[in-house]
C-alpha cells in the first residue's frame, strides 16, 4: 500500500532569495523545488508563475496526483511518452502510456534544502517511485559575473535496475516574450500545430540564422497553441520581455544524443486573445538521453544571463542586439 508524502505544516511556500544587487533569484524547496522569480534590480519577474503558488502550497503527493499550475522553472525527465511506463503504482496511466501529468514526486514534492548560502542553494528531491530517480538541483550566483545564474542538475538512479531518461529543463514565461533560437536551416525546426475549433497553429519567422516565434493574434480563431522541436546551431536561446533579455546557455549536443521524440530546444506556446494574461510560453532544453545503472548519476547545466534592454521591440532590433553580444 502506498503512503502519500506528508503535507507540509506551514501555510505558504518557503522562499529563498539570492541577490547580488544586479540580479535577484527566488527559489522554493517546496512544490517540487523550483525557481519562482528572476529579475534585474528594479525590474519585474521575468518568469511566469501561477496563483497556485499561493492558493495550493501543500499538495498531496501520490501516484494519482495531477499537475498543479505552479509554473516558474522546474525539472522533468524525458521522453514524455515514457513518463508512466516504468512504474507499478498507477496501472491506469501505465496502460494508456499517459503523457500527462509529469511525475508528481518530481514536480510537487517538497525538496530537502541540503545547502543554503548567500551565493547558492542546493535542493534534493525525494526518491521517485514513478521515474526511479532522485534529482539534485544547485542554483548559484556567479562570482565576477553579476548578471549570471548557474543551474546544475544531477539525476541519480535509485532503483536496483537500470533506468533511461534525459534531464529536461522547463522555464515558463508569458506568451508575449519574444524568443530567438539560432538554427542552420529552417528545416531544423519541426512544428506541431495544436489547432482545433478554439486554437489556430503557431506562426514563426526565419532569417539571419534565427528562428523567431511570433505572437500575432489569429484572425480566424480564439488563440494559438502548438509546440516546436528544434535542433539549434549554437548552445543558447534568448527571450526578450519588456526591458530585460534572458539568455539561456547550455552544451550544444548532436541530434543523435537527444531522444528522437524530443528536440534539444523545445518551445511550447498557448494563448487566448481574450485571456492574454493567462498565455504561456515554455523555454525547454533537453540534455542527452542516457541509461543509468543502479546508483549511477548524470548531470546537465544551464547558464542564465539577464541583461537590460532598452531598444525597440522589433525582430530586427532584437537580432542586431544579439549579434553584438557575440554569443558562442
Q: Is residue 99 part of a domain?
A: yes
Report whether 132 contacts 32 (CB < 8 A).
no
H, E, C per residue of 8-48: CCCCCCCCEEEECCCEEEEEECCCCCEEEEEEECCCCCCCC
Q: How far apart are CA 2 and CA 65, in angstroms?
A: 13
In a domain, 5, yes or no: no
* Domain presence at residue 109: yes
* SS3 assignment for 307-320: EECCCCCCHHHHHH
Could you tell me if residue 10 is inside a domain? no
- Give the pLDDT confidence score for residue 315 in this predicted structure: 96
Residue 7 falls inside a structural domain = no
Q: Which 8-state DSSP code applies to residue 96? A: T
Spatial neighbors of 166 by CB under 8 A, at least 6 apart, are: 77, 78, 79, 258, 259, 262, 286, 287, 288, 289, 290
- Structural domain including 87 reads 16-325
H helix or E strand, kind and range, residue 302: strand 297-308
Q: In 133-183, where do the E strands start and end? A: 133-142, 145-157, 163-174, 178-182
pLDDT recorded at residue 169: 99
* pLDDT tens profile 56-100: 999 999 999 999 999 999 999 999 999 999 999 999 999 999 999
Helix (H), strand (E) at residue 323: helix 315-325
The answer to whether position 165 is within a domain reads yes
Kindly give, in sequence order, each residue whose CB lies less than 8 Å from that of residue 94, ignoring residues fewer than 6 positions away: 84, 85, 87, 88
Query: How many domains does the chain contain in total?
Result: 1
Confidence (pLDDT) at 218: 74
Of 296, 319, 317, 275, the closest CA to residue 165 belongs to 296
In a domain, 281, yes or no: yes
Residue 2 lies in a domain: no
Task: Give pTM, 2 decimals.
Answer: 0.96
- Residue 215 has a pLDDT of 86
CA geometry: angle 23, 27, 29, nearest 5 deg? 165
Q: What is the CATH number for 321?
A: 2.70.98.10
Given this model, what pLDDT does residue 7 score?
Answer: 45
Regions in the chain scoring below 50 on pLDDT: 1-4, 6-10
Distance CA 115, CA 172 (A): 25
Amino acid at each position: 500500500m502506498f503512503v502519500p508524502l506528508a503535507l507540509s505544516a506551514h501555510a505558504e511556500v518557503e522562499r529563498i532569495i539570492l541577490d547580488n544587487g544586479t540580479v535577484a533569484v527566488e527559489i522554493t524547496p517546496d512544490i517540487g523545488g523550483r525557481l519562482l522569480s528572476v529579475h534585474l534590480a528594479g525590474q519585474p519577474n521575468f518568469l511566469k508563475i501561477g496563483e497556485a503558488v499561493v492558493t495550493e502550497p501543500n499538495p498531496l503527493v501520490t501516484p494519482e496526483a495531477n499537475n498543479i499550475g505552479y509554473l516558474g522553472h522546474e525539472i522533468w525527465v524525458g521522453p514524455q511518452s515514457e513518463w508512466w511506463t516504468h512504474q507499478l503504482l498507477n496501472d491506469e496511466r501505465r496502460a494508456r502510456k499517459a503523457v500527462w501529468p509529469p511525475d508528481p514526486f518530481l514536480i510537487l514534492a517538497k525538496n530537502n534544502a541540503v545547502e543554503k548560502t548567500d551565493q547558492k542553494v542546493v535542493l534534493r528531491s525525494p526518491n521517485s517511485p514513478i521515474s526511479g530517480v532522485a534529482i539534485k538541483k544547485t542554483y548559484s550566483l556567479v562570482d565576477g559575473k553579476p548578471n549570471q545564474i548557474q543551474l546544475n542538475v544531477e539525476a541519480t538512479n535509485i532503483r536496483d535496475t537500470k533506468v533511461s531518461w534525459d534531464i529536461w529543463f522547463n522555464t515558463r514565461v508569458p506568451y508575449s516574450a519574444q524568443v530567438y533560437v539560432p538554427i542552420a536551416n529552417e528545416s531544423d525546426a519541426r512544428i506541431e500545430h495544436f489547432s482545433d475549433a478554439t486554437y489556430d497553429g503557431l506562426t514563426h519567422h526565419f532569417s539571419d540564422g534565427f528562428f523567431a516565434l511570433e505572437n500575432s493574434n489569429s484572425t480566424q480563431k480564439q488563440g494559438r497553441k502548438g509546440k516546436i522541436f528544434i535542433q539549434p546551431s549554437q548552445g543558447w536561446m534568448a527571450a526578450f520581455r519588456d526591458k530585460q533579455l534572458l539568455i539561456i546557455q547550455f552544451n550544444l549536443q548532436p541530434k543523435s544524443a537527444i531522444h528522437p521524440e524530443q528536440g534539444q530546444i523545445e518551445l511550447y506556446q498557448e494563448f487566448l486573445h481574450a485571456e492574454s494574461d493567462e498565455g504561456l510560453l515554455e523555454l525547454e532544453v533537453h540534455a542527452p538521453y542516457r541509461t543509468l545503472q543502479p546508483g549511477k548519476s548524470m548531470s546537465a547545466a544551464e547558464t542564465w544571463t539577464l541583461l537590460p534592454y532598452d531598444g525597440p521591440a522589433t525582430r530586427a532590433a532584437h537580432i542586431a542586439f544579439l549579434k553584438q553580444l557575440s554569443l558562442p
